[in-house]
């Protein structure tokens, strides 16, 4: 089966309200939707969902559009692809750009699953039919409004509360949440806001009974994370630091963390995510599925991967309606009263893509067809 066409659409997800983390404020959410068409007419969707600015990682929606048009599209369009792994191989000469590559790989998993009449979860080797979810809460201007949001999410059944922290919004906020809500499952995510000099903060956080401290230090510093982890009882969870299977191997070898956050796009796609899952399982390190405020298209792949057995901690997987006015799949998933999301068992993506909404919210588009790809010299 040949890939006949790759379309990359820059789609505006229309955020309802800003979300603040240590490195800045997310106000708008452009995302990149990839639509692959095979030569037999089959269609598959994938999503590349880095943040709008290069603050979480180097990629942005614009770099994805560029790399998909110039390099990844021409590498796969017009080529024979029997399974997703073949496309990963065709794209492997391009260094980095994991979010962009993930969109292509995911679109092929969509086609692959539908063609075999199997769910994504079954294709990935998933074993669970529902997955527990937590909620990630941004930095607020006022403590009281944060506490109200914690209360709301707990009442909706969420299995864990993750607080975004930064210097000035950390120990006292954690203590206030503990005072009000007691021994709930609580974690913090610093998005690299600290360094090894921030000793006192970690001593105090270490006494707060947190399930984990996510990404306290610089994204490129596995060795400092190993030094900090050796001093803490609380598990460190790496997010930004793990861009690949090789990073995961290094983190496990160095003891840089005791928990790992896997995001499909950050690590380079479902195949890389599955390999990291297996290596962490063998090392006795539990993993959980992170999120990038994807639409329901990206979340569909996250949800299916999160059904693998070592994804044993609650995922960041709130429905799109929490953040955006409408999803790109309809109907989307919902969080049940027991704080879980059902893993679709239907063949293919598991959610109907809302093509009309995608068309309405598309800001720009690139289109790579076989005759164009043949004319581009990649050598």
- Contact residues: Mg ion, CB under 5 A: 189, 214, 239
Q: How far is the CB of 298 from ligand OSB (least distance, A)?
A: 9
Quote the Cα angle for 321-179-23, to 5°.
50
Q: What is the rounded CA–CA span in Å between residue 4 and residue 370?
A: 6
Give the residue with the Cβ less far from Mg ion, 135 or 214: 214
Among 7, 69, 189, 247, binds ligand OSB (CB under 6 A): 189
Tokens 């690590």, located at residue? 267
Q: Which does 190 bind (CB under 5 to 8 A by kind): ligand OSB, Mg ion, none?
A: none
The yes or no reply on residue 56 touching ligand OSB (CB under 6 A) is yes
- Minimum distance of ligand OSB from residue 377's CB (angstroms): 36
Estimate to the nearest angstrom the gap between the alpha carbon of 295 and the chain centroid: 11
Smallest gap, in angstroms, from Cβ of residue 371 to ligand OSB?
A: 38
- In angstroms, give the least distance from the CB of 183 to ligand OSB: 22
Asked whether position 136 contacts ligand OSB by CB under 6 A, the answer is: yes
Q: Is residue 314 near ligand OSB by the rule CB under 6 A? A: no
Of the candidates 232, 197, 200, the residue with the CA atom closest to the CA atom of residue 214: 232
Q: For residue 187, which of 169, 165, 204 has the smallest C-alpha distance?
A: 165
Q: Give the C-alpha separation, 378 to 44, whole Å.
A: 25
Q: Among ligand OSB, Mg ion, none, what binds residue 316 when CB lies within 5 to 8 Å by partner kind?
A: ligand OSB
Q: Give the list of residues 6+ apart from residue 171 with CB closer than 8 angstroms, or none.
A: 201, 204, 205, 208
Which residue lies nearer to ligand OSB by CB, 44 or 290? 290
Q: Which is nearer to Mg ion, 61 or 216 (CB)?
A: 216
Q: How far is the CB of 93 from ligand OSB (least distance, A)?
A: 28
274 or 289: CB nearest Mg ion: 289
Helix 84-91 to helix 98-115 angle (10° resolution) is 160
Quickly list DSSP for 265-317: HHHTSHHHHHHHHHHHHHHT--EEE---S--HHHHHHHHHHTTSTTB-S-EE-
- d(C-alpha 295, C-alpha 362), whole Å: 13
Q: Are 317 and 299 in contact (CB under 8 A)?
A: yes
Cβ nearer to Mg ion, comparing 135 with 189: 189
Position 318 contacts ligand OSB (CB under 6 A) = yes
The least CB distance from residue 251 to ligand OSB, in Å, is 16
The contact pattern for ligand OSB, residues 259-298, with x = CB under 6 A and - = no contact, is: -------------------------------xxxx-----
Q: Per CB under 6 A, does 305 bind ligand OSB?
A: no
**231 Cβ neighbours under 8 A, 6+ residues apart:** 202
The interface partner of residue 56, options being ligand OSB, Mg ion, none and the CB cut-off 5 to 8 Å by kind, is: ligand OSB
Residue 105 in the binding site for ligand OSB (CB under 6 A): no
Q: Per CB under 6 A, does 68 bind ligand OSB?
A: no
Q: Are β-strands 259-262 and 236-238 bridged in parallel, bridged antiparallel, or unpaired? A: parallel
Cα separation of 237 and 212, whole Å?
A: 6
Active-site amino acid positions: 164, 263
Taking the least distance from each CB to ligand OSB, the nearer of 114 and 139 is 139
Q: For the segment 36-55, give every residue that binds ligand OSB (CB under 6 A).
A: 51
- Which residues of the shown chain bind ligand OSB in the complex (CB under 6 A)? 51, 56, 136, 189, 191, 239, 290-293, 316, 318
């Amino acid at each position: 089966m040949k890939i006949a066409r790759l379309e990359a659409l820059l789609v505006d997800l229309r955020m309802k309200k800003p979300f603040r983390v240590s490195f800045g404020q997310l106000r708008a959410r452009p995302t990149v939707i990839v639509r692959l068409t095979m030569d037999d007419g089959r269609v598959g969707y994938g999503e590349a969902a880095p943040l709008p600015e290069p603050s979480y990682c180097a990629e942005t929606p614009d770099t994805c559009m560029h790399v998909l048009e110039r390099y990844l599209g021409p590498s796969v369009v017009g080529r024979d692809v029997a399974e997703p792994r073949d496309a990963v191989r065709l794209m492997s000469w391009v260094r980095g750009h994991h979010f962009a590559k993930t969109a292509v790989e995911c679109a092929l998993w969509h086609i692959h699953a539908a063609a075999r009449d199997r769910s994504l979860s079954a294709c990935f080797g998933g074993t669970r039919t529902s997955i527990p979810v937590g909620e990630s809460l941004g930095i607020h201007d006022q403590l009281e409004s944060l506490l109200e949001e914690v209360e709301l999410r707990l009442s909706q059944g969420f299995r864990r509360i993750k607080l975004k922290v930064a210097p000035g919004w950390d120990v006292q906020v954690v203590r206030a949440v503990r005072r009000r809500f007691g021994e709930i499952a609580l974690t913090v995510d610093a998005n690299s806001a600290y360094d090894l000099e921030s000793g006192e903060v970690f001593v105090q956080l270490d006494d707060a009974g947190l399930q984990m401290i996510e990404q306290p230090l610089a994204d490129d510093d596995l060795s400092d994370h190993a030094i900090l982890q050796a001093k803490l009882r609380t598990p460190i969870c790496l997010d930004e630091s793990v861009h690949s299977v090789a990073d995961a191997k290094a983190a496990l070898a160095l003891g840089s963390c005791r928990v790992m956050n896997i995001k499909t796009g950050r690590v380079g796609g479902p195949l890389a995510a599955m390999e990291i899952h297996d290596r962490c399982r063998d090392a006795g390190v539990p993993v959980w599925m992170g999120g990038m405020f994807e639409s329901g298209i990206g979340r569909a792949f996250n949800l299916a991967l999160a059904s693998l057995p070592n994804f044993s901690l609650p995922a960041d997987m709130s429905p799109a309606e929490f953040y955006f006015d409408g999803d790109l799949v309809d109907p989307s998933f919902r969080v049940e009263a027991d704080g879980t999301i059902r893993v679709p068992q239907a063949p293919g993506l598991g959610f109907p893509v809302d093509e009309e909404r995608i068309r309405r919210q598309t800001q720009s588009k690139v289109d790579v067809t076989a005759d164009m790809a043949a004319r581009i010299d990649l050598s």
